[in-house]
Amino acid sequence: MAYPAARAREVDLVIVGAGPAGLFAAYYGGFRGLGVAVVDSLPQPGGQVMAMYPEKPIYDIAGFPSVRGRDLIDGLMRQAAPFEPLYLLGQQATELHRSDDGSLTLATSAGERVTCRAVILTAGVGTFTPRRLPAGNSYEDRGLMYFVPRPQDLADQDVVIVGGGDSAVDWALLLDGVARSVTLVHRRARFRAHEHSVAQMMASPSIEVLTDHEIVEAGGTHTLEHVRVANKRGNERSLKCQSLVAALGFVADLGPLAEWGVELRDRHILVDTTMATNLPGVFAAGDVTEYPGKVRLIAVGFGEAATAVNNAMTLINPEASLFPGHSTDQPC
């Protein structure tokens, strides 16, 4: 098999996906003495957490009453850092091949080739592409955005947010008190977002909520300056707007992983109780997995990552124990 500009590397374990489950798997692999490489198509670790809601408080991580997405990822990176995992970021895992000796070789879109004994897929929903806002297309990178990595960048701006899901409502709440003004535009009367978040938003005197409205036009000389909205009766209104946040959801795609031969159900990878897939040496953990009773939470993904690593360990080294011992038993 020929790989363009291939750079050969060798580790014990390759993790595909650098979201929370993947980063915890990187720590756990290092804790078990494995050499680990982490591959992700995004240019920075953190997966959807860093791409979509880095400033959002997360309330269901054990031991943390509340933790920002950015801080959670920073903590996971610091946890894994002593074991020096190899990060191959900004490149997609494209091909997986098995040698006669049972070793696996993973190729990436950047021409990397990594040989290993086991692979753990922690790909979340795969690559995700935001749904576009047609009325604002011409203002991409000039005021139109699909994610809000740093709310402070929108300080003292008039911000219009489009959407009715959790991301739209969460960003409205995060920007309240940061932006000069916050207006949320939703084409329906009902919201898909969490009821408590919607109630908080509706109770804020400084967030204007326009339901049954749509963005029909965006305008400005060089950068975005205003948008025009219309309700179902055709009544129109112009809003000052320097930043237009389109939170319309995204299209998820497992990409090449779906062609590797792993058994799928509705774009999720079927695993057994060891987190093993139908492919020898290939495990999975986190939101990408499917099994009876599956619950898609970050907290669940952490446990699945530990299970996958420990079972991969017995495959890599048949003499190793499945139970790793307690971390408190290890020397400092």
Q: What is the pLDDT of residues 242-293, one digit of tens each?
A: 999 999 988 778 889 999 999 999 889 999 999 999 999 999 999 999 999 9
Nearest alpha-carbon partner for 207 in 264, 159, 138, 157: 159
Q: How confident is the model at residue 1 (pLDDT cuts 50, 70, 90)?
A: very low
Q: How many CB atoms lie within 10 A of CB 131?
A: 12
For β-strands 226-231 and 236-240, DSSP reports them as antiparallel
128 in a known ligand binding site: yes
Look at residue 332 in the predicted model and tell me its pLDDT. 54
How deeply is 291 buried, as exposed, middle or buried, from its count of CB atoms within 10 A (0-12, 13-18, 19+)?
middle
Q: How confident is the model at residue 199 (pLDDT cuts 50, 70, 90)?
A: very high
Average pLDDT over residues 221-243: 96
223 in a known ligand binding site: no
93 in a known ligand binding site: yes
Q: Please name the residues in contact with 115: beta carbons below 8 A apart, sequence gap of 6 or more.
A: 8, 9, 10, 11, 103, 104, 105
Pairwise pLDDT comparison (331 vs 14), residue with the higher score: 14
Domains of the chain: 7-128+251-329 (3.50.50.60), 132-248 (3.50.50.60)
pLDDT over 60 at 189, yes or no: yes
Quote the DSSP letter at residue 132: P
146 in a known ligand binding site: no
200 in a known ligand binding site: no
53 in a known ligand binding site: yes
80 in a known ligand binding site: no
